[in-house]
Amino acid sequence: MSPAISPLRTIYRTPPYLLPESEARVVEILRKSGPYSRTEIADITGYSRAKITSVVNHLIELQVVEETGEGDSHGGRRPRILNFNAGFGVVAGVDMGATSLDGALANFKGQIIERRSVSIDVRDGPDSVLNCVCALVAEMLRNQEIAAEQLCAVGIGVPGPVEFSTGLLIAPPIMPGWEAYPIRNFIRGVFPSAIVIVDNDVNVMVLGELRAGAGIREENFFFVKVGTGIGCGIVVGGKVYRGSTGCAGDIGHICVDRNGVVCHCGNIGCLEAMAAGPAIAQRAVAAALAGGSPILEKILKANNGTLTAKDVGAAGAAGERAANEIIRESGRMIGEVLASLVNFFNPSLILIGGGVSNIGHQFLASIRRNVLHRSLPLSTRHLRIDYSMIGADAGITGAVYLALDHVFAMKRERAG
């Protein structure tokens, strides 16, 4: 880590660090797709050479940008290559699940330098869990011998609906006691040098895929998380789309069966209640008790009368017909909902992730079959449906980029 402190960090106690429009643009370009030479930046921005020189010189002075070596010469002097200064400071990303916290510390290029996980129970309430979050971040800083003042931002993904503008959870079904709890203030109280950004876990995962996963070259795509619930992160035009209040993509409560089971939201036949992990497990218990599945029956006995989606995957892999039927049925319902979304939205990629997604190839095959069967031919011509490339790391990676995305902002210049 560079020990020097940028003048920006003495002007602003916490991010966002405000930059004039031209400087903010160059920072954004270098941060998301750098390194570049001055000539390349001029080509991308359309700024004059003189303007680039003054912008870049100032950014170097602020220690936001650094010269990292020489590029290829196309005749004449070799151009100096500019990059975002990875050592400007550090950020933390936290992926909060119902029963676990995964934390990472990253430099300003998003490279993870330390990571840590602990078990929690979100039902213990915000005070207890957020104390764990702060202790986890503090421990990672200590391990890396980084002063707490070097922490510029914390990004957190939480398993519930978040009003993004305020960072507040609104009626979270699996997080009692978290309703409108001031998460940002709590963490800022411990790390006053950091800006804190809170978002729904699936939005964070889709951001991870956009910046460092399978979505890196995609403009319009979905990330579907199948676990205890079902949610969908949406990228439109290269940006995460959150809707007007932050809950775009909550596809778990689309009705797939008017005669289905009652969902925890109070409605009947929601996708989540019919096709997520608990529904798969429940159907498997019924199959085992009905005597139609010797392998599931054996696991049920060994597990004291319970089964998980993972058990169904294991039985399916062993060739159990009933287990594969359950997996295909869950894939069918998810595929049918996705087909409607494909017709409506026309994405180029759908990524499937989350704890239940790896219960067997039948699952992905069934989703694919149903999407292709029920969507318009033009909408599926270039559509890929695949497993997440970064898998379990999508949440932590996205949380790091969520933090980084909020460190710099454009200064509003006075009109006239």
Measured distance CA(141)–CA(152) in Å, rounded:
12
Question: How big is the chain by its Cα radius of gyration, in Å?
Answer: 24
- Non-local (6+) Cβ contacts of 211 within 8 A are 32, 110, 397, 398, 401
Q: Using CB under 5 A, pick the residue from 86, 141, 263, 351 that binds Zn ion.
A: 263
Alpha helices in 150-289 (DSSP H): 183-190, 201-212, 271-275, 277-289
Query: For Zn ion, which stretch binds (CB under 5 A), given 80-88, 137-145, 250-258, 349-357?
Result: 250-258
Query: For Zn ion, which stretch binds (CB under 5 A), given 24-32, 62-70, 255-263, 303-311?
Result: 255-263
Measured distance CA(331)–CA(370) in Å, rounded:
8
Q: Using CB under 5 A, pick the residue from 134, 265, 372, 389 that binds Zn ion.
A: 265
Q: Does 287 bind Zn ion (CB under 5 A)?
A: no
* Amino acid, single-letter form, for residue 160: G
Query: For Zn ion, which stretch binds (CB under 5 A), given 66-74, 116-124, 179-187, 248-256?
Result: 248-256
In terms of CB distance, is 162 or 254 closer to Zn ion? Answer: 254
Q: Does 225 bind Zn ion (CB under 5 A)?
A: no
Site size for Zn ion (CB under 5 A): 5
Q: Using CB under 5 A, pick the residue from 253, 283, 368, 406 that binds Zn ion.
A: 253
Taking the complex as a whole, the smallest distance from the CB of residue 239 to Zn ion amounts, in Å, to 28
Q: Does 270 bind Zn ion (CB under 5 A)?
A: yes
Q: Does 271 bind Zn ion (CB under 5 A)?
A: no
In terms of CB distance, is 135 or 265 closer to Zn ion? Answer: 265
Measured distance CA(226)–CA(357) in Å, rounded:
6
In terms of CB distance, is 268 or 410 closer to Zn ion? Answer: 268
Give residue for tokens 């070799």: 78
The two tokens of residue 64 are: 């936001």
Q: Does 406 bind Zn ion (CB under 5 A)?
A: no
Query: For Zn ion, which stretch binds (CB under 5 A), given 82-90, 148-156, 264-272, 337-345?
Result: 264-272
Alpha helices in 160-270 (DSSP H): 183-190, 201-212
CA 143 to chain centre: 25
Taking the complex as a whole, the smallest distance from the CB of residue 259 to Zn ion amounts, in Å, to 15
- Name the strands in the sheet holding 100-106, side by side, starting at the edge strand that comes first in the sequence: 112-119, 100-106, 90-96, 151-158, 195-200
Taking the complex as a whole, the smallest distance from the CB of residue 100 to Zn ion amounts, in Å, to 24
Give residue for tokens 């509003």: 412
Q: Does 328 bind Zn ion (CB under 5 A)?
A: no
Q: Does 275 bind Zn ion (CB under 5 A)?
A: no
Measured distance CA(367)–CA(69) in Å, rounded:
48
Residues that bind Zn ion (CB under 5 A): 253, 263, 265, 267, 270
